[in-house]
Every structure is written in structure tokens, then in C-alpha cells.
Chains A and B, each alone.
Chain A
Amino acid sequence: MKLTVNGNTEEVNVEPDMPLLWVLRDELGITGVKYGCGIAQCGACTVHVDGVAVRSCQMRVGDLDGEVTTIEGLGSAEKLHIVQEAWIEHQVAQCGYCQSGQIMQAASFLEFNDDPTDEEIDTAMSANLCRCGTYPRIRTAIKTAAKNIREA
């Protein structure tokens, strides 16, 4: 079957019930997206489908209806996404394992709301777990990214 990932059309020979996460990592070698729990309890596998955050461990590739963006396609080495820039500014990452999921979730959230309160940020981001506990820095970076989006 064919799917579009980060602007590229890809052809894969897989069963339709294979999770999108498996297709991305094992078939296409796109490893920025991480496996955490496999049951939508942690958020590490978050990607965008037509710009909206989706847990790729839950999306069977046969149910996919839209273009996929992973952390590799959110920005580029030459031009980072505003959320990625804020992440670097605030040095959010510690071990880094959950961070691609965190950034993809935050980028999707800010598309809906570019002036979020702390409470709204916590509600939007609480399903993305970080075992290092970088939550205060995540919240600060999202505030900065939102400000930069508004001023862009």
C-alpha cells in the first residue's frame, strides 16, 4: 500500500492491521518516532496525520486517511519548527526519549490554540509522559513557542 510520510510517497508491503508506528520504524526506517507503551498511555509515538496529533501505535496503517508527518518532517536542519526552536532555547530534553512525541503533540496543540493558559497546556500535554520529569520546561517552552507564533 502507499502512504505519504514527510512529503514523500512510500510503498510498503504490510498487513493492513500493522500499527503505523511499526511501518514508520521497521519498514521505512524513520526512527525519530518512539515506541513507549503500545497502548496510547504514554504519547512517545505521537505523529501528525494531516497536522493533527495521533498516537501511531494505535493507528492501524489500513485505517490511515491522510498525510503523515514525523519529527523528521516537522522542520528541517536549516529551518527548525518554532516549537523545536523553543525546545532548544529552554533546553527541555533530558534523556530525550519522549521528546519527539512531546514536540509533535505541542505543535498540533498550538495549531488549535496559540495563546494557551498553563491549565490548557497541562490538559493538552498530560497524556505525554516524561519519566525525567521535564514538565516545567515543557510548559515554559510551549509558552515561548506560542508567543513566537503570535508574533510571527
Chain B
Amino acid sequence: MKKLSLAVLAASFAFVSHAFAAEAVGTNRVINEFPDGSISQEEGLENWQKFFEVASHPRCANCHVGADHKPMWSGPSFGDKARVHGMNINAGESRIGAETLLCSTCHVTLKEPDPNANSIAHAAPKVAMAWQLAPVEAEWFGKSSSYICNQLKDPTRNGERTIKEVAIHLDHDLILHWAWEPGGTREPAPHSLQETMDALMKWSAAGTPCPE
């Protein structure tokens, strides 16, 4: 925990010269705000690319699947070929498996966050909230950078959120924290949660530009 706090502190300092304001949210991350127009289009696109690298990473995309409600198994720990989650898993329209088999039957719920809870490589990961798929509107798996970019800033598909609210949501949703501390032999999502939140805020300040 101490190491993490130091990293967050360092990230906060890194942005102090550009940041409009730093607002504490969720756990121990902060929202760094940047005045509209203070970030160039080019820098905005660079920051979008940073977010896309996170969104398209298996730790995130495997559960951001479409209307077939089937989570994916992809990434280095699953070999070269992406495949659907074993055991015929289907999370259903509920996205938590309520229709047939709850995700939380195997991905059990912790009482509180514990980075040591997922040390066994092939066991079902668990976090301090009910395991679930992302909403179907937030389908990311196999989607292009341009598609996800336009989706993320579309209030009808992002839960009626501003980009700042999306960034805050990243910190509040404990299941997302696991992506950076997945345990076992799973590859963590790139960058860090704080860097990802900052990338979103910079992209927003640049006017949310999207790649072609």
C-alpha cells in the first residue's frame, strides 16, 4: 500500500505544472483537471491512444464483450489464440450470470480489496465486488480505436457520463482496479489507473479528438 501511495503521489506531482485542479476521488487516486483548449489535438490523440491501449488490453476487453454475453479468454496467459471463456459460460442479459450461473459462483466476492487474493495462476480472479461483464453498450473486444473513441464520448453508450465522470468511474469501480493487479501469471493492463484517468482528462481537454 505504501508503494502504491508513493506512486500516486509521484503521478500527482508530475501533473502539477499543467493541472487545473486535483480532486481526490474514490480510493487514493485523484482527478487532475486541465482547462479546455490547454491540450493540443496532437497531444489529445496521444492520450486517446494511451487509453485505447488500456481498453483493448485483455484484462479489460475480455469482459467488455457484446450481446452474446460470452466473456473471452485472451492474452499471453491464455496462449496465442483468443477463445471464449471455457465451461460454456454465458453471463446473460443480466451480465452477472443470473439467468444460469452467476459469475460470482466461481469469481467469489471478497470482503475488502486484497491484492494477494489472486496469487494462484489458474484460479478464478476475485475482487471486492460482484464479478460481472461491462454493459453491452460498452463492447470493446475486437473493436477499433475509432469505434471505442466515439463510443466512450457518446452519453447514450457511456452511462450518461461526462468524460470526467468516466474517469471518476474508473476509480470507483473496484473490479477495474484488478486489471492492474491481476495476480498469478496474468499480464496487467498497461500504464496505471492514475495515468489512465489522466489520459482521459487530457483527451477531454483537447476536445475528445478521435482517430480516423
Q: Which residues of chain A from 55 to 78 have a CB within 8 Å of any chain B CB?
A: 55, 58-60, 62-63, 65
Say whether B202 faces chain A, with CB atoms less than 8 Å apart. Answer: no
A62-B111, A63-B108, A123-B88 as given contacts; A52 in contact with B102, CB under 8 Å: yes
B106 touches A127 (CB 8 A): yes
B101 on interface, CB distance cutoff 8 Å: yes
Output the least CB separation between B168 and chain A (Å): 27
**Size bin of chain A's contact surface:** 20 to 34
Min distance, Cβ A23 to any Cβ of chain B, angstroms: 14
Closest partner residue, chain B, to A16 (CB atom): B111
Query: In the bound complex, do residue B88 and residue A55 qualify as a contact, i.e. CB atoms below 8 Å apart?
Result: no
> What chain A residues lie within 8 Å of B104 (beta carbons)?
52, 54
Known contacts A63-B108, A63-B109, A63-B110; is A53 also within 8 Å of B123 by CB? no
Interface contact A40-B111, CB-CB below 8 Å? no
Contact present for A52 and B105 (CB under 8 Å): yes
Interface residue total, chain B, C-beta cutoff 8 A: 24
Interface string of B87-118 (1 = CB under 8 A from A): 11110000000111110111111110000010
Q: Is B124 at the interface (CB under 8 A from chain A)?
A: yes
- Which residues of A are at the interface with B, using a C-beta cutoff of 8 A? 38-41, 46, 52-55, 58-60, 62-63, 65, 105, 108-109, 112-113, 120, 122-127
Question: B interface vs A, CB < 8 Å?
Answer: 86-90, 98-102, 104-111, 117, 120, 122-124, 126
7 further contact pairs, Cβ within 8 A, besides A52-B105, A127-B89: A53-B101, A58-B123, A65-B109, A112-B100, A124-B100, A127-B105, A127-B106
